Amino acid sequence: MVRAIVGANWGDEGKGKITDMLAKESDIIIRFQGGSNAGHTIINNYGKFALHLLPSGVFYGHTTSVIGNGVALNIPYLFKEIQSLVDRGVPKPRILVSDRAQILMPYHILFDTYEEERLAGKSFGSTKSGIAPFYSDKYAKIGFQVSELFDEDTLKEKIGRVCEIKNVMLEHLYHKPLLNPDELFQTLLEYRDMVAPYVCDVSKYLYEAMKEGKNILLEGQLGSLKDPDHGIYPMVTSSSTLAAYGAIGAGIPPYEIKNITTVVKAYSSAVGAGAFVSEIFGDEADELRRRGGDGGEFGATTGRPRRMGWFDAVATRYGCRIQGATEVALTVLDVLGYLDELPICIGYEIDGEVTKDFPTTVKLEKAKPVYTKLPGWKCDIRGIKKYEDLPENCRRYVEFIEKEIGVPIKMVSNGPGRDDIIIR
Ligand code: GDP
């Protein structure tokens, strides 16, 4: 059985926690898109971890962690991350890396940084992990597949060719030091030696695993609204964040994905630029940010304060629909226990008309939130294990959201730990 765990919002919904939890019953966990640009925070019996490139199932002895072909593979980063787990007492995870994954090159990070510098105030708020330059090169067909590391002559020739293009940009657009093809070749040979023991024909491996009836998780990064096609373009990421892409980024048939567990956050948060209709500011935002997540809403990769907002039913209904959500995990509900009233954005007013449909970006920029308010529950719900034991107003909030988004909320997360979960 293949299950995807993906985000309905702007990312940071708590997918890492849900993946870590569901990995207990799984054999294989796969990252299928993105790179080290976003972080997943996981709290379990080994401590608190911020993972960026490894799937969130690495903490169990029985799981295999896979880097799929759709990922932007930063090789030294991957090994640094594995080492940081081992250093803290986590058993060395079983890792497989797709021979068709492409390599995030040192110059992708440079280009990302230079471009943000060049755009100055008009930047996209990139994490400068090289993701946009990486995917641009992949589709411009000047990327490097892991498989290419193993043919030195072809590799050398291609590096020469790619450096020619890159150096024109470095010299004339960015006015920065040029790339040295020989140095780059040496770096790639080092990468080859690091990754060699883990390289695998992943789609074949998964084909066999599915035949044997193994439980497989596809772990998404970011959320629906950061998808390059269906999100708030251009303030999006550079690879698809949708469950559908799990089929491509892992190399499995789309019909094998039976369950699409879509993670929805009980309030809104976002990083980077872009329209954010239910955003709140000032003291109200500071308080939610301080209480949010586990120890505050600050980016796991950059430490940047996240933008905060009330629950947005318009964006979340769309986010669930575009994921094809079969069930929802509602997270960080415990954080909201301090509020007297909980505003929920149930419509967007655009040019004097109210809509419940999530618009394209140009219209989204003009949208103003239409709120309804539900009464708060004014207590701490952590530790509660049964849905019926939640305060009535808390259940009302959950059921209101469920009705708005039109997908069953099967899990309610009431704390950052593995066991802080209510199964409905
Ligand atoms: P991801 O990228 O979707 O995996 O999300 P992040 O890990 O970036 O952000 C989620 C944050 O919320 C992390 O700090 C988690 O530890 C925390 N978290 C997850 N679920 C809950 C929850 O139910 N309650 C609380 N208080 N924190 C949670």
Structure confidence by residue, pLDDT tens digits, 136-154: 999 999 999 999 999 999 9
Q: Total structural domains in the chain?
A: 2
CA 421 / ligand 1 centre spacing (Å): 12
Look up the domain containing 181 and give its range: 102-197
The pLDDT of residue 177 is 97
- Between 52-56, 308-312, 410-414, the lowest mean confidence (pLDDT) is in 52-56
pLDDT score at 54: 93
Q: How many whole angstroms separate alpha carbon 197 and alpha carbon 195?
A: 6
**Distance, CA of 290 to chain centre:** 22
Q: Which residue has the tokens 């993105």?
A: 34
| Residue located nearest, by CA, to atom 10 of ligand 1 | 14
Q: Does residue 135 contact residue 102 with C-beta atoms inside 8 Å?
A: no
Ligand 1 in contact with 34 (CB < 6 A)?
Answer: no
Contact assessment for residue 266 and residue 335, using Cβ atoms and an 8 Å cutoff: yes
Within 8 A by CB and 6+ apart from 70, the residues are 32, 33, 101, 239, 245, 248, 249, 250
Q: Is the CB of 7 under 6 A from ligand 1?
A: yes
335 lines ligand 1 (CB under 6 A): yes
Lowest mean pLDDT among 57-61, 66-70, 377-381: 57-61
Is residue 416 situated within a structural domain? Answer: yes
Contact indicator for 9, 225 with CB cutoff of 8 Å: yes
Q: What is the pLDDT of residue 343?
A: 98
The predicted model gives 105-125 an average pLDDT of 89
What's the DSSP call for residue 61?
T
Tell whether ligand 1 has an atom less than 6 A from the beta carbon of residue 319.
no
Q: Are 416 and 402 in contact (CB under 8 A)?
A: no
Residue 376 has pLDDT above 80, yes or no: yes
What is the model's pLDDT at position 394? 98
Q: Are 221 and 19 in contact (CB under 8 A)?
A: no
Residue 239 CA to residue 129 CA, distance in Å, equals 14
pLDDT reading at 309 higher than 90: yes
pLDDT tens for each residue of 312-340: 999 999 999 999 999 999 999 999 999 99
**For a pocket test of ligand 1, which of 53, 294, 413 has the largest count of ligand atoms closer than 8 A to its C-beta?**
294
Confidence category of residue 419, pLDDT binned at 50, 70, 90:
very high
Calculate Rg over the CA atoms of the chain.
Answer: 22
Give the C-alpha separation, 128 to 292, whole Å. 25
Residue 337 phi/psi, 5-degree rounding, is -65, -10
Query: Could you give the CA distance from residue 104 to residue 236 in angstroms, rounded to a whole number?
Result: 19
Least Cα distance to 146 among 108, 100, 213 occurs for 100
What was the pLDDT predicted at 24? 92
379 and 294 housed in the same domain: yes
64 lies in some domain: yes
- pLDDT tens per residue across span 226-240: 999 999 999 999 999
Instruction: Give 70 Cα–ligand 1 centroid separation in angstroms.
Output: 24
pLDDT digits over 239-276, tens only? 999 999 999 999 999 999 999 999 999 999 998 889 99
40 is annotated as an active-site residue: yes
- In this structure, what token pair is assigned to residue 244? 């559908």
pLDDT computed for residue 416 by the predictor: 93
Please check the confidence at residue 298 and state whether its pLDDT lies above 90: no
| Same domain flag for 405 and 258 | yes
Specify the pLDDT at position 401: 98
What span, in angstroms and rounded, lies between the C-alpha atoms of 117 and 221? Answer: 25
In this predicted structure, the answer to whether residue 406 has a pLDDT above a threshold of 90 is: yes
* Residue in this structure with the two tokens 């979340």, named with its chain if needed: 316
Classify residue 92: in a domain, yes or no. no
Looking at the structure, tell me whether residues 396 and 279 fall in a common domain: yes
Q: Write down which residue in 139, 167, 197 finishes a domain.
A: 197
Q: Pick the last residue of a domain from 197, 227, 250.
A: 197
Share of the chain above pLDDT 90, in %: 88
* Residues 183, 211 within the same domain: no
Note whether 28 and 246 are within 8 A (CB). Answer: no
Residue tagged 């708030």 (tokens): 232
Instruction: Using the predicted structure, report yes or no on whether residue 351 has a pLDDT greater than 80.
Output: yes
* pLDDT score at 57: 85
Looking at the domain assignment, is residue 93 inside a domain? Answer: no
- Considering the domain architecture, whether residues 8 and 67 belong to the same structural domain is answered as yes
Do 216 and 305 lie in one domain? The reply is: yes
CATH of the domain at 166: 1.10.300.10
The mean of the pLDDT values for the chain is: 95
Q: Indicate whether 240 and 318 sit together in one domain.
A: yes
Q: Is the pLDDT of residue 37 over 90?
A: no
In a domain, 69, yes or no: yes
| pLDDT score recorded for residue 28 | 97
Report, in this order, helix, strand and coil percent for the chain, each rounded to 5.
40, 25, 35
Distance 372 CA to ligand 1 centre (A): 26
Cβ of 292 less than 6 Å from ligand 1: no
CATH number at residue 299: 3.90.170.10
Are residues 136 and 180 located together in one domain of the fold? Answer: yes
Q: Last residue of a domain, which of 135, 168, 197?
A: 197
Q: Please tell me the distance between residue 332's alpha carbon and the centre of ligand 1 in angstroms.
A: 7
Q: Indicate the top mutation candidate among 13, 17, 380 to test ligand 1's pocket, ranked by most ligand atoms within 8 A of CB.
A: 17
* Ordered DSSP codes for 294-356: TTS-B-TTT-PBPEEE-EEHHHHHHHHHHHT-SEEEEE-GGGGGG-SEEEEEEEEEETTEEES
In a domain, 224, yes or no: yes
In a domain, residue 398? The reply is yes
End-to-end CA distance of the chain: 21
Q: Is the confidence at residue 185, as pLDDT, over 90?
A: yes
Kindly tell me if the per-residue pLDDT of 114 is higher than 80.
yes
Same domain membership, residue 25 and residue 154: no
Angle at 318 between CA 283 and CA 260, to 5 degrees: 110
Task: Indicate if 189 and 208 belong to the same structural domain.
Answer: no
The ligand 1 atom at the shortest distance from the C-alpha of residue 299 is 8
Q: What is the pLDDT of residue 207?
A: 98
Query: Same domain for 331 and 213?
Result: yes
Same domain, 311 and 339: yes
Ligand 1 pocket check for 231: Cβ under 6 Å: no
pTM of the entire structure? 0.95
Q: Is 226 helix (H, G, I), strand (E, B) or coil?
A: helix
In-domain check, residue 95: no
Cross-strand partners of 348: 355, 369
User: 43 CB under 6 A from ligand 1?
Assistant: yes
pLDDT score of 40: 81
